[in-house]
A and B are shown apart, each in its own frame.
Chain A
Amino acid sequence: MLRVSDLSVARGGRRILSDLSFEVSAGEALILRGANGVGKTSLLRTLAGLQSPVSGQVEYAEDTAAYASHADGVKATLSVTENLAFWAQTYGGTLGPSVFKRFDLEDLRDRAAGTLSAGQKRRVGLARLAVLNRPLWLLDEPTVSLDRFSVKLFEDMLTADHLAKGGAAVIATHIDLDIPARTLDLDAFATDTPLDADTDEAFL
């Protein structure tokens, strides 16, 4: 579903990851590990297509990936339902009642998202993934500010609803998630070399 070959990633004009190759197939999850600043977020942004790779290829079918960063894109003055409905519409997904149940949001449906706690907001952000109908999830620290109960909800949802139905996920995280997954340690691919001056990234 996702194939990465000889990928190099840069941030701030310096190459931080190089010669990265891996594959993720349907039903599989890959956990990215590494120290702070090693380039987990930059790698996920590159996979999502928000930043272009310095070299190498990222291959997956068009419109199959859903990216979730630290920021959830949740609007404070819209209700939980309005927020989710908007993302479902723009991505051509579906918003069914099961989503609210899955993420324990049933009581919060009509609350303005601005009045939610950080953990509740995070759950809305994760529920967004479920309404997008995309098989490949790229998750950046999905469990930040979630309590243990919500982490369990997330693990169950990821295993039973996503991976079991042929989805795949690449997850950057620091905690031990209780899901069947391979682990990729990015520390082994870390470099710190300045880019050639003529590349676009170095210019910026």
Chain B
Amino acid sequence: MIALLLRDIRLAIRAGGGFGLGLAFFLILVVLVPFGVGPETQVLARIAPGILWVGAMLAALLTLDRLFALDFEDGALGLLALAPIPLETVAVAKAAAHWLTTGLPLAVAAPLLGLLLQLPSGAFVPLFVSLLVGTPALSMIGTFGAGLTVGVKRGGLLMSLLVLPLYAPTLIFGAEAVRRAADGLAYTTPLILLGAISLACIALLPFATAATLRINLR
């Protein structure tokens, strides 16, 4: 599993791997928002939690379609399925590699971009923590979606349609935690629920992902 995780991180960092793609997308999206809604600081501060969370969510979606598709095309997925590691482990390793190369950098970069959107300074730490807690769920759900569409030619769009509705609970509680923090309210409850979503995804979805891979490899 470690070997697969390291290989996927290495592939992501090398040329054409897509590392930084999500981050750059996130940056551009957040920079463009003030052009769209105008420069009033109060308006920006109000919408900042939502924009930052939606941006992070879309950025996480960008690199998902290559998660299994590339391995499927060059035959590596079939060879992984025959390896003495279970497909559930393969799914976890893939999701973990995706999180380390996408979710984690997004969480680190988000407070800086919060500055651009006039996010109140009290919300910086909650924003970082909520993304840190919530993005594993995004990676895991996305891995499931990628597994579901792996045999489909140009399945990226279909995958987005399947995955985005499943992202709704994560988005609701993630953005809620940051909004409450920005308003100076207690934000532990949405954060705990967010953690619960992530843990449930990590516990259940590897099995679902492995099942979809088995069907698609047949």
Contact = CB atoms under 8 A, between A and B. Distances in A.
Contacts of B16: 77
A111 to B, nearest CB: 14
Given A78-B11, A86-B7, A50 B85 contact: no
A98 interface: no
A69 B75 contact: yes
A72 B75 contact: yes
Contact of B218 (A73, A75, A91, A204): A204
A116 B3 CA distance: 23
A89 B76 contact: no
A69 B83 contact: no
B129 interface: no
Contacts of A77: 11, 14-17
B78 A67 contact: yes
Given A77-B16, A91-B84, A50 B74 contact: no
Nearest to B217: A50
B85 A90 contact: yes
Given A50-B217, A82-B10, A204-B218, A73 B3 contact: no
A71 interface: yes
B139 to A, nearest CB: 21
A50 B73 CA distance: 15
Contacts of B183: none
Query: Which of B7, B15, B17 is packed against the most chain A CB atoms within 10 Å?
Result: B7
A35 B217 CA distance: 24
A51 B215 CA distance: 9
B81 to A, nearest CB: 7
A63 interface: yes
A52 B81 CA distance: 14
A67 B7 CA distance: 21
A90 B83 contact: yes
Contacts, number: 65
A124 B207 CA distance: 32
Interface in B171-198: none
Interface string A57-88: 00000010111011111110110001000110
A73 B73 CA distance: 8
Nearest to A89: B3
Interface string B55-85: 0000000000000000101111011111111
B4 A75 contact: no
A90 B74 contact: no
Contacts of A90: 3-4, 80, 83-85
B82 A49 contact: yes
A78 B78 contact: no
Nearest to B13: A77
Query: Which of B73, B80, B82, B84 is packed against the most chain A CB atoms within 10 Å?
Result: B82
A180 interface: no
A92 interface: yes
B74 to A, nearest CB: 5
A48 B11 contact: no
Contacts of B14: 77-78
A130 to B, nearest CB: 14
A78 B7 contact: yes
A92 B84 contact: yes
A170 to B, nearest CB: 15
A137 B121 CA distance: 62
Nearest to A63: B84
Contacts of B75: 69-73
A75 B82 contact: no
Contacts of A78: 7, 10-11, 14
25 contacts: A48-B82, A49-B82, A50-B82, A50-B217, A51-B217, A51-B218, A52-B218, A67-B79, A67-B82, A70-B75, A71-B73, A71-B76, A72-B74, A73-B71, A73-B75, A73-B78, A75-B7, A75-B74, A77-B16, A78-B7, A78-B11, A86-B3, A90-B84, A91-B84, A201-B218
